[in-house]
Amino acid sequence: MGLRRVNGWISKKDADLWTGLFLMVLSGAIIREAIDLEVGNPSNPGSGFMILGASAVLGLLALHQFIKSLRSFKHKQGAAAEEIHWGRIVAVVSANALYIFLLQLLGYLVCTFLFLSFCFQVLERGRWIPRVIGSALTTFITYLLFARLLQLNLPKGVVPFF
């Protein structure tokens, strides 16, 4: 069951097949957890009662989608017809993950400045000086707005004097 790419995105059949399979496995895992939680009975429903019902229905729907896509021979085009800028998306997701990971360590000011400079550069390459100035200004203004005006306790990190 290899993936067939159509204009930068997998075909609808493959997308449905894999999401169906994934949701079936997920619902199986949830059903097991619901049974462990104690399902109870209708006169005394337990913590897993509704979870069992909802995950069972999810599993059945996923199974239907899986079978439907297996039977379908067509490889229709996926949701996105245009060429997708995967590099940008991966870069921005990674930048977000790094921001979250380093926020406590480096602090709001350093992290935000680096994050904005990186994002501005990724979205449109060009002269770096205006981007660095823009990032520094935005970092400082948002710091004033959130930390000073709205009194949010943002992490100080390596810049403890702010």
Partner 1 sequence: MGAEILYGFKVATTPENLVFCFIGVLLGTLVGVLPGIGPAGAMALLLPISLKITPLGTFIMLAGIYYGSMYGGSTTSILVSIPGEPASVMTCIDGYQMALKGRAGPALGISAIGSFIAGTISVIGLMVFALPLAKGALKFGPPEFFCLVLMGLTLVTYLSQKSAEKAFMSALIGMLLSWVGIDLINGQSRFTFGIMELNDGVGVIPLVMGLFGISEVFMELEKDERIEVIKTKIKNLLPDREDWRQCTGPILRCSVLGFLLGIIPGGGGIIANFMAYIMEKRLSKHPERFGTGEIVGVAAPESANNAAAGGALIPLLSLGIPMNATVALLFAALLIHGVRPGPLLIQEHPDIFWGIIASMYIGNVLLLVLNLPLIGLWVKVLKLPYRIIFPMVLLFCLIGAYAINLSTLDLKLMLGFGVLGYLMRKFDFDTAPLVLAFILGPMMEVSMRQALLLSQGSFSIFFTRPLSAACLGIAALLLLANLIPFLKQRRKKLEEIQIKE
Q: How far is it, in rounded angstroms, from Cα 142 to Cα 132?
A: 15
Would you tell me how many other CB atoms lie within 10 Å of the CB of residue 14? 19
Q: How far is the CB of 155 from partner 1 (least distance, A)?
A: 8
Binding mask 28-67 for partner 1 (x = CB under 8 A): --x--x---xx--xxxxxxxxxxx--xx-xx--xx-xx--
Binding mask 121-150 for partner 1 (x = CB under 8 A): --xx---------x---x---x---x---x
Residue 25 in contact with partner 1, rule: CB under 8 A: no
- Other beta carbons less than 10 A from residue 27's beta carbon: 20
Buried b (16+ CB within 10 A) or exposed e, 102-138: bbeebbbbbbbbbbbbbbbebeeeeeeeebeeebeee
Pick one of 6, 19, 21, 156: the residue that binds partner 1 (CB under 8 A): 19
User: CA 42: distance to chain centroid?
Assistant: 37
- Contact present, 82 and 7 (Cβ < 8 Å): yes
Q: Residues 73-102 vs partner 1: string with x where CB under 8 A?
A: -----xxx-x-xxx-xx--xx--xx-xx--
Q: In sequence order, which residues have a C-beta less than 8 Å from that of residue 118 and are 6 or more positions away?
A: 91, 95
Residue with tokens 């800028």: 85
User: Based on CB atoms, which residue is closest to partner 1, 2 or 59?
Assistant: 59
Instruction: List contacts with partner 1 (CB under 8 A).
Output: 9, 12, 15-16, 19, 23, 30, 33, 37-38, 41-51, 54-55, 57-58, 61-62, 64-65, 78-80, 82, 84-86, 88-89, 92-93, 96-97, 99-100, 103-104, 112, 115-116, 119-120, 123-124, 134, 138, 142, 146, 150-154
